[in-house]
Structure 1
Amino acid sequence: MGSSHDDYDNPWKDMITRYFRELILFFFPDAANGIDWNRPVVFLDKEFQQISRTAELGRRTADKLARVYTMSGNETWVLVHVEVQSQYETDFARRIYTYNYRIFDMYDKSVVSLVILADDHPRWKPSAFGYELWGCELSLKYPVSKLIEFGKSKDSCALLEKHENLFAVVVKAHLKALETRKNPSGRYDSKFALIRALYEQGFNKQEIIDLFSFIDWVMRLPEELEKSLWHELEAIEKELRMPYITSVEKIGFEKGEIEGFEKGEIEGTINLLSKQIALKFKKESDELIPMLSLLSKSQLEEIGEKFFQAKSFDEIKQWISQA
């Protein structure tokens, strides 16, 4: 149930899809004020897949391309990009520009790029890309919301506690996940407190279930602590006399079945990848198995696509250690 590497990208994608308006309102209020929310938001997954096929491998991101309309009635495409990789990337701004330009070039649509940075580097906040030479100038500036900035002062923390938007809970969960990466007992306490608070903040049943799913995914616990948490959740059900826990238990059961299936898939992927590396470099690859076992399914898939580019065994080993 627990994992040494927390996998943040999938829960972020789920929340962007289900609560797009709330996300824009919370992180990018200027953009939210310019969108006509009476007209439907349409996600353009196939279109984004076309422009991202040649994107850099090895990144952990959650991207969503959506079609919206401005208050003046103009069609606009919005690319929300959540960067969940903890490693520093020097070419990040260039990648944002590349996505923006590819969408404009392929579909001839105006594109607004909005970026959420979920890493823990306080000084890393790229917000523009450009160059200039001999009077020729190219520039792209884009709004950036940095999650750790929500927790850097008492005022910002207080704002999170009081904010009614469910993304305040999302931010708190993500920050606590970062803060407790090496502290299972501290994570247990924080996770329980966040889940209990859901019942006291006025969220409806579906919102509680979705927020629970996000918290549960990004704040994974060792198996024994996970069992203890479920006992506490049962106590909450009895104490508050609220029906949501029954739904949560169903989610947990289904999640357990899915994770059991995925665990078998992951083990098979690790063994196959290890054999492929051994064949490519004609060297025993058993030492890589413990390192590969720490990676999420998406990270293993990325390494699997990328390892053919490796020029040496040491290079692929370095990629795995940095994933």
Structure 2
Amino acid sequence: MATNVVHEEKKKYEATETPPDQDGLWKNLITELFEKFMQFFAPRLYEEIDFTKDPDFLQQELYKEIIQGKKGRVAADQIVKVFLKNGDERWILIHIEVEGKDGADFPKRMFRYFYRIYDKFDREIYAIALLTDAEKSTYHNQYRYSFHGTELEYTYNIYKFDSKNIKKLEQSSNPFAAAVIAGIYASKTKNDSQQRYIFKRKLMTQILQKFTMSNEETHTYFTALLYFIDYLLQVPEELKQKFIEEIRPLIGKEEVLQMKAEKEKLSPTLAAIFAEAKEEGEAKGIEKGRAEGKAEGKAEGIEEAKIMFAQELIRNKYSDETIAKLTKLDVEVIKKLRKEFE
């Protein structure tokens, strides 16, 4: 049988000028790489889970019924149902607290999540909270209640980013070690774009060295991590192009083309590299087509590829000038495409 996690309906997380949806990015990554998530954050429980049975992520309706009975936004919670190797069923509650500043009511919230699930479904629950703020926090892992002899103590697991050593995390081959580093960098560089760019470039280089594209498993880690990091560690417009230019030589064009052929969701960086690789391939096709009298058709193919790439960049909020540089299209054409898109 499988592991079940309660979570919101999966959606796309687009890069914008506003801060990224960190809750959504984390949930997306956990869903894609759940086994590695459990191996990294809950190694003892991981050893007991039967991963031959896919984890079962609960649907939106159940999420609303259990979690959203309280006021406020709780976008980061997931409940996963898993089965152990001995056949027992367990539920895993994952809560992601993004950059919380006041942890005073946090233990009570964790207890509420627990008793709602337990009361409704009578399931044994493993609960863990990821506290992504890299600054020292006041969050605790216990909720205590006492009133005239009526007492209760609820303890849950927490993973605090502020206490983690980056050098030690860099030695891990688990993709979530890199995700935690990205979370620490995102928290530390909220007001320093240049430093965030340096961290992003360093982290991406390490990931490219660690997870080869030729291996199917590590290829999955790479594409999921790059998507996560590209959106989590957003940089200003002038640094986006610089990042693309510095990362491009580290990723083989054929590998990027293969990713697109397999219809994988590309991050903005990979989309830009893919467009360049495709354009070079089309250019070679034009030369061959000319010899065969087919240059016109090839030219049309290049133009179509440029337009498709421009549309993707418009969706990701790139400026007209940057899109023109990346696609070699005229700015007026970009403006027309943007108007059609809007």
Structure 1 and Structure 2 fold alike (TM over 0.5): yes
The 2-side partners of 1:250 and 1:191 are apart by 14
Shift of 1:111: 1.9
Are residues 206 and 94 of structure 1, via their aligned partners in 2, closer, same or farther at CA, if it must alter by over 3 Å? same
Over residues 191-241 of structure 1, what are the superposed CA-to-partner deviations in whole Å (9 max), with x where a residue is unaligned? 11211222210343222111111111110011111122122232333xx56
1:52 is matched with 67
Q: Does 1:146 align with 2:160?
A: yes
Query: Match of 1:258?
Result: 315
Q: Which residue of 2 aligns with 1:195?
A: 204
Does residue 9 (structure 1) correspond to residue 66 (structure 2)? The answer is no
- State how far apart, in whole Å, the 2-side matches of 1:33 and 1:55 are: 34
- The offset of 1:145, in angstroms, is 0.7
Asked which structure has the greater CA Rg, the reply is 2
| Amino acid aligned to 1:91 | D
Is residue 38 from structure 1 mapped to residue 38 from structure 2 by the alignment?
A: no
Note if contact 1:41-1:66 (Cα within 8 Å) is conserved in structure 2.
Answer: yes
Q: CA deviation at 1:108?
A: 2.2
Aligned partners of 1:2 and 1:221 also within 8 Å: no
| Deviations 1:71-126, CA, capped at 9 Å, x for gaps | 33211111111111432132111111111111111222222211111123414231
Q: 1:199 to 1:211 in 2, by over 3 A?
A: same
**Contact kept in structure 1, 2:211 and 2:222, CA below 8 Å:** no
Which residue of structure 2 aligns with residue 164 of structure 1?
173
- One-letter amino acid of the structure 1 residue matched with residue 220 of structure 2: Q
Q: Which amino acid aligns with 1:196?
A: T
Q: Alignment identity in percent?
A: 26
Question: Any idea what SS the aligned residue of 2:169 has?
Answer: helix
Aligned to 1:199, the other structure's residue is in SS state helix
The size of the alignment, in residue pairs, is 253
Maintained 8 Å contact 1:177/1:219: yes
Q: Would you say the 8 A contact 1:160–1:169 is kept in 2?
A: yes
2:103–2:139 contact (8 Å) kept in structure 1 = no
Whether 1:71 aligns to 2:85 is: yes
User: Pairwise CA RMSD of aligned residues?
Assistant: 2.4
Q: Which amino acid aligns with 2:313?
A: G
* Larger RCO (CA under 8 A, 6+ residues apart): 1
Structure 2 residue identity aligned to 1:53: Q
- 1:169-206 Cα offsets, whole Å, 9 max, x none, are 10111111122221111111111121122221034322
| TM-score normalized by the length of structure 2 | 0.67
Determine if the alignment matches structure 1 residue 244 to structure 2 residue 272.
no
Structure 2: where are the runs of 5+ without partners? Answer: 1-14, 213-217, 261-265, 273-308, 319-342
Residues 144 and 122 of structure 1: CA distance in aligned 2, closer, same or farther (over 3 Å): same
In the alignment, what sits opposite 1:292?
A: none
Is structure 2 residue 191 aligned with structure 1 residue 179? no
2:121 pairs with 1:107: yes
The TM-score normalised by the length of structure 1 is 0.71
- Inter-partner Cα distance in structure 2 for 1:19 and 1:255: 25
- C-alpha contact 1:94 1:129 (8 A) present in aligned 2: yes
Against the structure 1 CA distance between its residues 260 and 35, is the aligned structure 2 distance closer, same or farther, given a 3 Å change threshold? same
State the distance in 2 between where 1:208 and 1:4 align: 25
